[in-house]
Amino acid sequence: MRGFAIAGAGLALFVGFASGAWAADLPERSWTKAPPLVAPAFNWSGFYAGVNVGGGWYDGGNVTTSSNVISIVGSDNVVRVPVSDSNQAGVTAGGLVGYNYQIDKVVLGVEADFNSADLKSSRSGSTTAVFDVGGFHGRGGGGLRFTTVTGNYDFQSTSKIDWFGTVRGRIGFVPAERLLIYATGGLAYGEVKTNIANSSAFSTGLSRLWLGDSSDVRVGWTAGGGLEYAFTNNWTLRGEYLYVDLGTSGTTATFQGTDPLQSQIRYNTSRDNRFSVARAALSYRF
């Protein structure tokens, strides 16, 4: 029994010594806090897609009308009503896709969009003429007689855009991490519908009408700029302005009747199709 007691005491002494040595090798516990996690900086690079909605309006543009005939109405008895212009604003809405690449604080990108539109520009005018129409009446007819005739001449030229699209480059600057200020410009295209109506009506009951219309896809250019803000890592909201020039469109009005003489008369119109668009867009970054 005495041997077992001596062995037990030795084992306890060894265990205590080993525990002390192991504890001495442990590093001193640090009570300092771990550094806080820092979110990575926001970057504009990547693909995105979105929708836009806004308004558009014509800027007027040049409108010319012409004919292959020369008026024979005397200038002394013609009352001319000033030509009136009416530029109708309308709603635009569509979708967009694009890609951005950020280099330091500069963002380069390319974007395409396609939009429906309801934009129209009209120009109208009228001329009132009073003139005498006479003829010789023989055999008791009293000789030369004149009849006073009043003629009203009206025309209207209208240009309408139902849809348009753009393919543009973008270059922007990032003054703050989630704010982008950019300029944009490139190709624009759209369908332009042009029509002209020219009529004449006389106090004798005679009336004549010339009509013409055309519809074609015009190609031009666009330029503008905007502000875009990323309110989450994936969603951005922007305000944007674009100026669009789709070039010149025209059409010719032909006589709506069977008179061979009047059928030779043509009325032409030519219009500049330029308009502005102000819109907001919501995009998702992939």
Round to whole Å and give the CA distance between 45 and 233: 11
State the alpha helices, DSSP H only, in 68-130.
Answer: none
What would the pLDDT profile of 111-162 be if each residue is shown by its tens digit?
Answer: 999 999 999 988 888 888 777 665 555 555 555 666 788 888 888 889 999 9
What would the pLDDT profile of 154-184 be if each residue is shown by its tens digit?
Answer: 888 899 999 999 999 999 999 999 999 999 9
Round to whole Å and give the CA distance between 240 and 28: 60
Question: How many other C-beta atoms lie within 10 A of the C-beta of residue 265?
Answer: 16
Exposed (0-12), middle (13-18) or buried (19+): which is 241, by Cβ within 10 Å? middle
| Site of tokens 């008369």 | 265
Round to whole Å and give the CA distance between 238 and 176: 15
Pairing mode of beta strands 106-137, 90-103: antiparallel
The model carries a pTM of 0.77
Round to whole Å and give the CA distance between 96 and 111: 7
